[in-house]
Amino acid sequence: MGDYLRLLTVSDRDIPLAKLQRAASVGAVWSVDHPGTLGNYLAVGPELGDLEHVWATIERNPVGPNTLGAEEVAEFIDSLEQGGPSSAVRWLSDYLETVRAIYAVRVYPDSIARHENALEAVFAIRTALRDAVGGIGQWDGQGFTNEEDRLIWIEPSHRLTGRTSAAVLDETTGEWVNCELNLDDAEEVSAFLRGDVPRPLGQRP
């Protein structure tokens, strides 16, 4: 897992802090001043105010003219041709042009490793974010997910492992075809990158 899990959304609504605090079954979520920038960021950790052992931080970057968020979106668009499938490249190019905000969740693996349920708590808060504002995911070292949080784009140079929920866009209908992708299977990964559905849901290997 990379250091950053991002949520890119077309919504610019505010998310009540209490909503995210309720999502954390363990640990705490709190607001921290962010010197030099507008607003603040959120910290997720074992105890309220314990910045020394935080599991993750969450920063909201608006996307507009001359913003850090706009620079990030431009970089993402430029990187799309390095991966596939091509149908996802086209879909993501259009979607990214409409993004209004980026929620960057930075995880701290060393701190997470010291607490059995820390990773589960961080993912629960990310899920609460996605439920509140929608959007697509960008995972460092993995790729992009669609609005259903299924993997839709990968870069061939990344060494991905395991099984994951994925989807391939049918550009004829505009619908996503859900599938299970075995990232350890080179043939399945190649099929996915070509835009073929490697294993539709309900079909056994």
Q: Are 44 and 103 in contact (CB under 8 A)?
A: no
Whether 14 is in a domain gets the answer: yes
Whether 130 is in a domain gets the answer: yes
> Residue 15's pLDDT is what?
87
| Residue from 1, 5, 3 nearest 130 by CA | 5
pLDDT bin (cut points 50, 70, 90) of residue 25 is confident
Instruction: Please provide the average confidence, as pLDDT, over all residues in the chain.
Output: 90
pLDDT digits 0-9 by tens, 92-145? 999 999 999 999 999 999 999 999 899 999 999 999 999 999 999 999 888 999
> Residue 97's pLDDT is what?
97
pLDDT bin (cut points 50, 70, 90) of residue 1 is very low
Q: Is the pLDDT of residue 185 over 90?
A: yes
Q: Is the pLDDT of residue 37 over 70?
A: no
Q: Is the pLDDT of residue 8 over 90?
A: yes
Whether 200 is in a domain gets the answer: no
Whether 155 is in a domain gets the answer: no
Burial class (CB in 10 A: 0-12, 13-18, 19+), 121: buried
Whether 29 is in a domain gets the answer: yes
Whether 180 is in a domain gets the answer: no
Whether 187 is in a domain gets the answer: no
pTM: 0.88
Burial class (CB in 10 A: 0-12, 13-18, 19+), 137: buried
Q: Is the pLDDT of residue 56 over 70?
A: yes
Q: Is the pLDDT of residue 13 over 80?
A: yes
| Separation between Cα atoms, residue 160 and residue 142, nearest integer Å | 7
Domain count, the chain: 1
Q: Is the pLDDT of residue 202 over 60?
A: no
Whether 178 is in a domain gets the answer: no
pLDDT digits 0-9 by tens, 149-183? 999 999 998 888 999 999 999 999 999 999 999 99
pLDDT digits 0-9 by tens, 72-83? 999 999 999 999
- And the tokens for 97? 């042009």
Q: Which domain holds residue 48?
A: 4-149
| Residue from 202, 159, 204 nearest 184 by CA | 159
